[in-house]
A and B are shown apart, each in its own frame.
Chain A
């Protein structure tokens, strides 16, 4: 268990955009305190279910997400990830723990305050899109603005703008069910963006889509996120998707986090056997940076140079072209070592085992 505080991106003095402290969610009859204490004593879920008829869906989860960071929670079905994202939007009331948004405690808010937070500060994209079948695309997108009683002209103008951002110009007057799955999820995304939220929550948004469309949507999200810089919490069951999108990734299993870290940290140093199983299938050269294969050595004078943050896959063609060490420099152009065919081969060899 390494809940290492690596790269939290926390800036001094500024509270994280989202912070969860020891959040629990227990489903079933009663208040859940028995189930929590059983779980704390190390009982497994099946045993707790037998004794209390309660299911521990989220088990003592703590993490924080910095302003503008993309935090991905990856887990298989039943791991509690969907419940977790509902706890942090209070669609599901956590059994215990604290949820802080920019320092404000979400769980002690009144209904009115909660409605305010949802109207302005956070927004969500759903797995099965959650579109309203009785409203046209444009009215779906404008929904968040409509409940805020923003006048029609303004909200339609804003909705049209977002519609164009997600590449759906010309579809405004269709009904959702007339659109393909990928287009429907663009509408879902547009609806979330229309209210201009600081926090965007994604609940497995692309898992209902075909692989090609999924890739396209991921690219779209990466493109948008480059310009928007929102705080994103993204739920997925797809490890490759997590690696592509996440600044940091949490691997969730049986209601708690097995490991939290950057894609590179997780791939190069999986904390548990469970995490390793996912990592084994990952082509490391695509994830790991040159830094991880850098060794000490004498730079070749006048030779080729790469920055330490480049992915390994980018230097493989260079090494194949000419068997000569490549000099590695850091962000400020200081030489930190070299890479060779051997050092790269060793990491690729590890992948085979």
Chain B
């Protein structure tokens, strides 16, 4: 009622609320600006040159790396310390007989009496050995161990501080938010500049990339302590320190462990990109398989990464005792017996020389996979080639011509900000206009257009697949609980791996990147859509059914509209996932900002890196805000 009244009060608003009129007005505005400004991309001479001062800093760092005090007394010792940590862990793992780690994993998980899980996980530990990747896995695990340890040492205190100190929180939070949109390749650049290349800088880069969830979840854990428990603790006269040590921290432990978990996953997520900084290990192997287009081997290696992820995940989870969980009581005697047993086994293993993994099937079972892909490619050439050509010629090239040549850049800015105005009001419209223009001013206009085109195409494909599946799954809880573990597993695979099979099928170019991005974006898209559909208020559904709506009518008239905010959120997530994939797309010939960021990192060229970083952050922020605003608009009437 109230909206109707408001519309009557403002007749121009009423006119604009008609979607046809709105579209017409929108198109007219765009056409008029296009007519006025003619054609052509963003003028190159307008580049304001933000790269130069940054390149200046870069050369200064190069010249002063060995002489300046900050390097001699801070950065270089830091690197040495990290290096020492890495070497110690690595040489210990190499020294350790191969059968000790699976036994330890079995014992840790077995403590909660889940024998099946314990046995399975112990076998997973052995998997890299079976496929002949034991040494590479040790390198990667050492990198994980050291970077996660550093993340905990720094992240937990920072998280506590963030939770307890409002001012500190207001400083740190925007930094953490920003860190999540900046592509990893971009902030690897300053690290390469300052620390050089090698395993230790890779560990530091991993820490910086993976620490945000550690801080966030520690902070969350402390803030989420139930208010009544907080009051009770104060009421019984706990001092601040007692409160922290006996109530806040213990209650935050599950959340902190979840943070460690997330940090491990994030760290594994950039294991491939970290090789660009010299990390070695499994990441390097994956990188090579992509270069050589060996899908089978790529799969075998990435399963090793997944194995590492799974083991670390399971072990860290079983370290938390859930209240009331049945566990083995470990007496001191049993503890000593177990430890001395392990020590004895180690000595025996050393003495007998059972150190390296005793056998290896190598990656021989990768070959059938490779030939399978080759077969697939030749057999379905009739489908894949036209698809490839269609996407490249009809979609990408056309869209790029439209955005780069046919339309004036002013028209694009006006179109985008008009759209922003309609969805989110004049403030957002202004932000959009300034943001887009700024991308032009940094000189990354053509690259941004390239990336935007591919992103939009990938998102549209993801929506067409994920939303129907999500809607279907949302009404079938059993099917969903069956599919969930697969979706989970898909999310632990490093994103470069997604690209490998598609590079084999479509050969290098923008298409494998787009298809990989679609596959990468599907799990959260499906999840969130299904969630929205499932969480629709039960009474609304019953009401609809009572009035004689057919199941189809219930779905279209009630379920989908009520799930709309969640579906928009799903689209939002997919956009973010696709953008995260842009760099990988750059690695397999996708071009655009992704390619530039790799170029910037490998040179290294900090100026270029900054330009790319700014462009990606602006794009991500604008898309994110617009979609959030759309979701909010759709939600508003439901809240009344």
Residues of A within 8 A of B (CB): 86, 89, 91, 115-120, 122-124, 126-135, 143-144, 146-148, 174-175, 177-178, 191, 195
Instruction: Mark out the residues of chain B between 228 and 244 whose CB falls within 8 Å of any chain A CB in the assembled complex.
Output: 228-229, 231-239, 242
Instruction: Mark out the residues of chain B between 208 and 239 whose CB falls within 8 Å of any chain A CB in the assembled complex.
Output: 226, 228-229, 231-239
Check if A133 sits within 8 Å of B251, measured CB to CB. Answer: yes
Check if B231 sits within 8 Å of A178, measured CB to CB. Answer: no
B247 at the A/B interface (Cβ < 8 Å)? yes
B246 at the A/B interface (Cβ < 8 Å)? yes
Residues on A with beta carbons closer than 8 Å to the beta carbon of B238: 115, 147
The residue in B226, B235, B238 that gathers the most chain A C-beta atoms within 10 A of its C-beta is B235
Residues on A with beta carbons closer than 8 Å to the beta carbon of B323: 133-134, 175, 177-178
User: Per-residue 0/1 for B565-590: is the Cβ within 8 Å of any A Cβ (1 yes, 0 no)?
Assistant: 00000000000000000000000000
B324 at the A/B interface (Cβ < 8 Å)? yes
Check if A144 sits within 8 Å of B236, measured CB to CB. Answer: yes
Check if A146 sits within 8 Å of B246, measured CB to CB. Answer: yes
A/B interface sample: 10 pairs, CB < 8 A:
A120-B237, A124-B231, A134-B250, A143-B236, A144-B237, A146-B246, A147-B236, A147-B242, A175-B324, A177-B323
Q: Min CB distance, B257 to chain A, in Å?
A: 13
Residues on A with beta carbons closer than 8 Å to the beta carbon of B232: 124, 126, 130-132, 143, 191
The residue in B228, B237, B242, B250 that gathers the most chain A C-beta atoms within 10 A of its C-beta is B237
Distance of A247 Cα from B557 Cα, bound (Å): 59
Distance of A122 Cα from B236 Cα, bound (Å): 8
Check if B324 sits within 8 Å of A195, measured CB to CB. Answer: no
Distance of A278 Cα from B232 Cα, bound (Å): 32
- Other A-B contacts than A115-B237, A117-B237, A132-B229, 11 sampled, CB-CB below 8 A, are A89-B235, A126-B232, A130-B228, A130-B232, A132-B233, A132-B251, A133-B323, A134-B251, A143-B246, A174-B324, A191-B232
| Contact for B239 among A115, A122, A177, CB less than 8 A | A115
Q: Min CB distance, A46 to chain B, in Å?
A: 20
Residues on A with beta carbons closer than 8 Å to the beta carbon of B246: 143, 146-147
Which residue of B is nearest A134, CB measured? B250
Total cross-chain contacts (CB, 8 A): 75
Q: Min CB distance, B96 to chain A, in Å?
A: 34
Which residue of A is nearest B250, CB measured? A134
Given A127-B228, A130-B226, A131-B229, A195-B234 contact (CB < 8 Å) = no
Check if A129 sits within 8 Å of B236, measured CB to CB. Answer: no
Distance of A178 Cα from B324 Cα, bound (Å): 8
Residues of B within 8 A of A (CB): 226, 228-229, 231-239, 242, 246-247, 250-251, 253, 323-324
Residues on A with beta carbons closer than 8 Å to the beta carbon of B251: 132-134
Distance of A48 Cα from B633 Cα, bound (Å): 32
Distance of A133 Cα from B255 Cα, bound (Å): 14
Residues on A with beta carbons closer than 8 Å to the beta carbon of B231: 86, 91, 124, 126, 130
Distance of A175 Cα from B326 Cα, bound (Å): 12
Q: Min CB distance, A221 to chain B, in Å?
A: 18
Residues on A with beta carbons closer than 8 Å to the beta carbon of B242: 147
Distance of A147 Cα from B242 Cα, bound (Å): 7
Q: Min CB distance, B325 to chain A, in Å?
A: 10
Q: Min CB distance, B229 to chain A, in Å?
A: 5
Check if A91 sits within 8 Å of B235, measured CB to CB. Answer: yes
Distance of A178 Cα from B322 Cα, bound (Å): 12
Which residue of A is nearest B247, CB measured? A132
Residues on A with beta carbons closer than 8 Å to the beta carbon of B250: 132, 134-135
| Contact for A119 among B228, B229, B236, B247, CB less than 8 A | B236
Check if A147 sits within 8 Å of B239, measured CB to CB. Answer: yes
Residues on B with beta carbons closer than 8 Å to the beta carbon of A91: 231, 234-235
Given A133-B323, A175-B323, A118-B228 contact (CB < 8 Å) = no
Q: Min CB distance, B330 to chain A, in Å?
A: 17
Distance of A58 Cα from B232 Cα, bound (Å): 22
Q: Min CB distance, B113 to chain A, in Å?
A: 18
Given A127-B228, A130-B226, A134-B251, A118-B324 contact (CB < 8 Å) = no
Distance of A120 Cα from B236 Cα, bound (Å): 8
Q: Min CB distance, B479 to chain A, in Å?
A: 32
Check if A118 sits within 8 Å of B229, measured CB to CB. Answer: no
Leading 8 A-B pairs by shortest Cβ distance? A130-B228, A119-B237, A130-B232, A118-B237, A144-B236, A175-B323, A124-B235, A115-B237
Q: Min CB distance, A70 to chain B, in Å?
A: 19
Which residue of A is nearest B323, CB measured? A175
Check if B237 sits within 8 Å of A147, measured CB to CB. Answer: yes
Residues on B with beta carbons closer than 8 Å to the beta carbon of A191: 232, 236
Which residue of B is nearest A112, CB measured? B239
Which residue of B is nearest A90, CB measured? B234
Distance of A148 Cα from B233 Cα, bound (Å): 12
Check if B228 sits within 8 Å of A126, measured CB to CB. Answer: yes
Distance of A119 Cα from B238 Cα, bound (Å): 8
Residues on B with beta carbons closer than 8 Å to the beta carbon of A174: 324
Distance of A132 Cα from B248 Cα, bound (Å): 10
Which residue of B is nearest A195, CB measured? B236
Distance of A195 Cα from B232 Cα, bound (Å): 13
Which residue of A is nearest B252, CB measured? A134
Distance of A123 Cα from B250 Cα, bound (Å): 23
Residues on B with beta carbons closer than 8 Å to the beta carbon of A131: 229, 232
Distance of A195 Cα from B242 Cα, bound (Å): 17
Q: Min CB distance, A148 to chain B, in Å?
A: 7
Residues on A with beta carbons closer than 8 Å to the beta carbon of B229: 130-133
Q: Min CB distance, A339 to chain B, in Å?
A: 47
Q: Min CB distance, B235 to chain A, in Å?
A: 4
| Contact for B237 among A116, A126, A129, CB less than 8 A | A116
Which residue of A is nearest B321, CB measured? A134
Residues on B with beta carbons closer than 8 Å to the beta carbon of A178: 323-324
Q: Min CB distance, B405 to chain A, in Å?
A: 54
Check if B324 sits within 8 Å of A177, measured CB to CB. Answer: yes
Distance of A237 Cα from B92 Cα, bound (Å): 65
Check if A123 sits within 8 Å of B324, measured CB to CB. Answer: no
Residues on B with beta carbons closer than 8 Å to the beta carbon of A116: 237
The residue in A116, A126, A134, A174 that gathers the most chain B C-beta atoms within 10 A of its C-beta is A134
Residues on B with beta carbons closer than 8 Å to the beta carbon of A120: 237
Distance of A131 Cα from B229 Cα, bound (Å): 6
Which residue of B is nearest A121, CB measured? B237
Residues on B with beta carbons closer than 8 Å to the beta carbon of A135: 250
Residues on A with beta carbons closer than 8 Å to the beta carbon of B228: 126-130
Distance of A32 Cα from B445 Cα, bound (Å): 54
Q: Min CB distance, B252 to chain A, in Å?
A: 10
Residues on B with beta carbons closer than 8 Å to the beta carbon of A123: 235-236
Check if B236 sits within 8 Å of A118, measured CB to CB. Answer: yes
Which residue of B is nearest A117, CB measured? B237
Residues on A with beta carbons closer than 8 Å to the beta carbon of B247: 132
Which residue of A is nearest B239, CB measured? A115
Distance of A195 Cα from B238 Cα, bound (Å): 13
Q: Min CB distance, A216 to chain B, in Å?
A: 22
Distance of A273 Cα from B246 Cα, bound (Å): 49
Which residue of B is nearest A174, CB measured? B324
| Contact for A118 among B226, B235, B253, CB less than 8 A | B235
Q: Min CB distance, B255 to chain A, in Å?
A: 12
The residue in B232, B234, B246, B247 that gathers the most chain A C-beta atoms within 10 A of its C-beta is B232
Q: Min CB distance, A319 to chain B, in Å?
A: 49
Q: Min CB distance, A101 to chain B, in Å?
A: 14
Which residue of A is nearest B322, CB measured? A175
Q: Min CB distance, B92 to chain A, in Å?
A: 33
Distance of A177 Cα from B228 Cα, bound (Å): 15
Residues on A with beta carbons closer than 8 Å to the beta carbon of B235: 89, 91, 118, 122-124
Distance of A133 Cα from B221 Cα, bound (Å): 14
Q: Min CB distance, B218 to chain A, in Å?
A: 16
Residues on B with beta carbons closer than 8 Å to the beta carbon of A89: 235
Distance of A124 Cα from B251 Cα, bound (Å): 21
Residues on A with beta carbons closer than 8 Å to the beta carbon of B234: 91, 118
Residues on A with beta carbons closer than 8 Å to the beta carbon of B237: 115-120, 144, 147-148
Which residue of A is nearest B242, CB measured? A147
Residues on A with beta carbons closer than 8 Å to the beta carbon of B236: 118-119, 123, 143-144, 147, 191, 195
Distance of A147 Cα from B240 Cα, bound (Å): 11
Residues on B with beta carbons closer than 8 Å to the beta carbon of A146: 246
